[in-house]
Amino acid sequence: MPDPAAAIEVENLVKRFKRTTAVDGIAFAVARGACVALLGTNGAGKTTTLAMLLGLVTPSAGTIRVLGEDMLRHRHRVLGRMNFSSPYVDLPQRLTVRQNLDIYARLYGLADVGARIAALARDLQLETLLDRAVGRLSAGQKTRVALAKALLNEPELLLLDEPTASLDPNTADWVRGYLEAWRTRTGATIVLASHNMAEVERLASDVLMMRRGKIVDRGAPRALVRCHGRDTLEQVFLALARETEPVTP
Amino acid sequence: MSAAPAAAFSGRRVGAMVRRYVYLLVGSGPRALELLYWPIVQMILWGFTSQFLMTNSSYVARAGGVLLGAVLLWDVMFRGQLGVSVSFLEELWSRNLASLFASPLRPIEWAAALVVMSLVRVVIGIAPAALLAILLYHYSIFALGLPLIAFFVLLLAMGWSIGFIIGALLLRFGLGAESMAWAAAFLLAPAAAIYYPVAILPVWLQDVAWAIPAAHVFEGMRAVMFTGRFPLQHFVAALGLDALYLVIGVGAFLVAFEIARRRGSLLQSGE
């Protein structure tokens, strides 16, 4: 039975690509309104997990329920209620910011496209960029545009893959602040994959530590630090990434 | 704000995708010019060739414009196929597939948008060439009358089938299969009997030709030009073959999409 309080329920999720097992039997649940981080090194399985949550990649085994719907059978029932952003996925570079947002607003079935774009442009400081081609924007500006695309439909579930990768500290801090305020205001659920400890500690209430496709530990950032007898989340991350035995208190 | 529930097929989402390709076309002069350039160059080349052959070939003299008509109609097929394939390629070039299919867009809606854009691109590409042929060579393809509509639709549908099969190959092999978008139609051209009757082909190739809708269309076009009669048997054959190939093409495209989801290649598309 699906848990109505859960935004995401994942059980025994496996993804194999030929001989590689990218995700190896993970299980987790994310409560509605929570912000959960997937933390792990490159190749740990974070992006593949996010892609399966979005229905972009079909699992080899396991089940995924998102907002109460079975993603393997009924993903189209729920895709309009979620969204995502990733620095590894572009928007059409030759189209302007406004054109991109206009197309995605229509794909998500929004009623008042112009008003929504105007509101997001105001919130994300994109007003002067609306008629500029996306390909001509700086990395920070592109991140704000990608975020605008991801927030167009006011998603109940937002999936973020390294939301501040390649941003300068000032822009990254602005993006984190915006996401914090947005989640507080809307009560939406966020799942983010990141390598950035500061980001995870600031945004996430819970962390799933991944290594080689498995969840090797989980908990609140401070609880993980305490539990592993380390001083920072980064030390916990490095210890797990380097396969050292966790120090138990 | 709440998004509308995802219908099984949404005209609005198809419209959104058409809008995406129209924005691209309108915003890019070279893309729009390229649509016009090749059909006009082809028409001019074959127009002069026709003028020369009119005085030196009894075949062409019997029906002036048989070559020009063939050139323009073949371009309907080729541009129709490119209309699907190039719009498809735009998503690979811009690494946009993951964003599109994380949205409520369904593959069949994307396919419908590709078909609409193909029609738009064909009209933009062929209409000026057809009008120029009237001005330069006093040849009007519209003189074919009502059969022209049938020929146009049959060739366009064949172009869509090839376009979807190329789309399936692109989903499977990525941009490594990009050149197929430009080359595939020409693989069929010798057997499609564009400029000559099917009877001129070796017997074994005639069997291949009769399995190609375009061969029936061009036989039909010549029959209309030479005899003034519309050959119903060629129309029916081309219609049946088009229906079969469209089912195969769209089916291959949808299957390739599911395979791409299994392989994780929707995330990795791009240069």
Residue A245: per-residue pLDDT = 47
ipTM of the complex: 0.89
Residue B54: per-residue pLDDT = 74
Residues of A in contact with B105 (CB under 8 A): 107
Task: Say which amino acid occupies B15.
Answer: G
Q: Sign (positive/negative) of CA torsion B157, B158, B159, B163?
A: positive
Contact across the interface for A95 and B263, Cβ inside 8 Å: no
Closest-CA distance of chain A to residue B6, Å: 6
**CA A180/CA A163 separation, integer angstroms:** 13
**CA A240/CA A211 separation, integer angstroms:** 8
Question: Across the interface, which of B4, B8, B24 has its CB nearest the CB of A94?
Answer: B24
Element holding A144 (H helix, E strand): helix A139-151
Contacts of B219 (CB under 8 A, 6+ apart): B193, B197, B198, B231, B234
Are A203 and A211 in contact by the 8 Å Cβ rule? The answer is no
The three-state (H, E, C) secondary structure of chain B, written as one string: CCCCCCCCCCHHHHHHHHHHHHHHHHHCHHHHHHHHHHHHHHHHHHHHHHHHHHCCCHHHHHCCCHHHHHHHHHHHHHHHHHHHHHHHHHHHHCCCHHHHHCCCCCHHHHHHHHHHHHHHHHHHHHHHHHHHHHHHHCCCHHHHCHHHHHHHHHHHHHHHHHHHHHHHHHHHHHHHHCCHHHHHHHHHHHHHCCCCCHHHCCHHHHHHHCCCHHHHHHHHHHHHHHHCCCCHHHHHHHHHHHHHHHHHHHHHHHHHHHHHHHHCHHHHCCC
Task: Classify strands A206-211 and A214-219 as parallel, antiparallel or unpaired.
Answer: antiparallel
Statement: the pTM of the whole predicted model exceeds 0.95: no
Element holding A7 (H helix, E strand): strand A6-17
Average pLDDT of A32-55? 93
**CA B158/CA B151 separation, integer angstroms:** 11
Which of A31-40, A92-101, A182-191, A193-202 bottoms out in mean pLDDT, i.e. has the lowest?
A: A193-202
Q: Express each pLDDT in B1-50 by its tens digit.
A: 445 556 789 999 999 999 999 999 998 888 888 888 888 888 888 888 88
Evaluate whether residue B64 is within a structural domain: yes
Residue B2: per-residue pLDDT = 47
Among B267, B29, B26, B99, CA closest to A95: B26
Evaluate whether residue B6 is within a structural domain: no
Element holding A84 (H helix, E strand): strand A82-85
Residue B146: per-residue pLDDT = 86
Q: Express each pLDDT in A126-183 by its tens digit.
A: 999 999 999 999 988 999 999 999 999 999 999 999 888 878 888 889 989 999 999 9
Question: Across the interface, which of A88, A90, A102 has its CB nearest the CB of B96?
Answer: A90
Closest-CA distance of chain A to residue B28, Å: 8
Question: Across the interface, which of B4, B96, B266 has its CB nearest the CB of A92?
Answer: B96
DSSP A18: T
How many Cβ pairs closer than 8 A exist between chain A and B? 134
Q: Tokens at residue A209, please? A: 């530590």
Average pLDDT of A206-235? 91
DSSP A35: E
Phi, psi of A235 (to 5 degrees): -65, -40
Question: Across the interface, which of A80, A94, A107 has its CB nearest the CB of B16?
Answer: A107
Indicate which of A54, A58, A104, A106 best probes the interface with B, i.e. most B CBs within 10 Å of its own CB. A106
Residues of A in contact with B17 (CB under 8 A): 103, 107
CA B71 from centroid of its chain's CA atoms:
13
- What residues of B are in the A interface, CB distance below 8 Å? 1-6, 8, 10, 12-13, 15-17, 19-20, 23-24, 27-28, 90, 94-96, 98-106, 258, 261-264, 266-267, 270
**CA A221/CA A233 separation, integer angstroms:** 7
Residues of A in contact with B263 (CB under 8 A): 17
Residue B66: per-residue pLDDT = 82
**CA B114/CA B120 separation, integer angstroms:** 10
Low-confidence ranges of chain B (pLDDT < 70): 1-6, 57-64, 269-271
Contact across the interface for B98 and A86, Cβ inside 8 Å: yes
Task: State how many domains chain B has.
Answer: 1
**CA A133/CA A153 separation, integer angstroms:** 22
Residue B59: per-residue pLDDT = 67
Contact across the interface for A79 and B103, Cβ inside 8 Å: yes
Q: Tokens at residue B119, please? A: 């029609």
Task: Please return the burial class of B220, using the count of CB atoms within 10 Å of its CB with bins 0-12, 13-18 and 19+.
Answer: buried
Residue B63: per-residue pLDDT = 66
C-alpha separations of A85 from A73, A162, B94, B125 in Å: 23, 9, 15, 37
Residue A3: pLDDT over 80: no
**Residue reference for tokens 């989903």:** B171
The CATH architecture assigned to A6-95+155-241 reads: 3-Layer(aba) Sandwich (3.40)
Most confident of A38-52, A231-245, B244-258: B244-258
Contact across the interface for A154 and B2, Cβ inside 8 Å: yes
Contact across the interface for A80 and B101, Cβ inside 8 Å: no
Contact across the interface for A149 and B262, Cβ inside 8 Å: no
Task: Please return the burial class of A214, using the count of CB atoms within 10 Å of its CB with bins 0-12, 13-18 and 19+.
Answer: middle
Range of the structural domain that residue B82 is part of: 30-268
pLDDT band at A249 (very low <50, low <70, confident <90, very high): very low
Q: In residues, how long is chain A? A: 249
Residues of B in contact with A116 (CB under 8 A): 1
Residues of A in contact with B90 (CB under 8 A): 92
pLDDT band at A24 (very low <50, low <70, confident <90, very high): very high
User: Domains of chain A: which residue ranges?
Assistant: 6-95+155-241
Evaluate whether residue B8 is within a structural domain: no
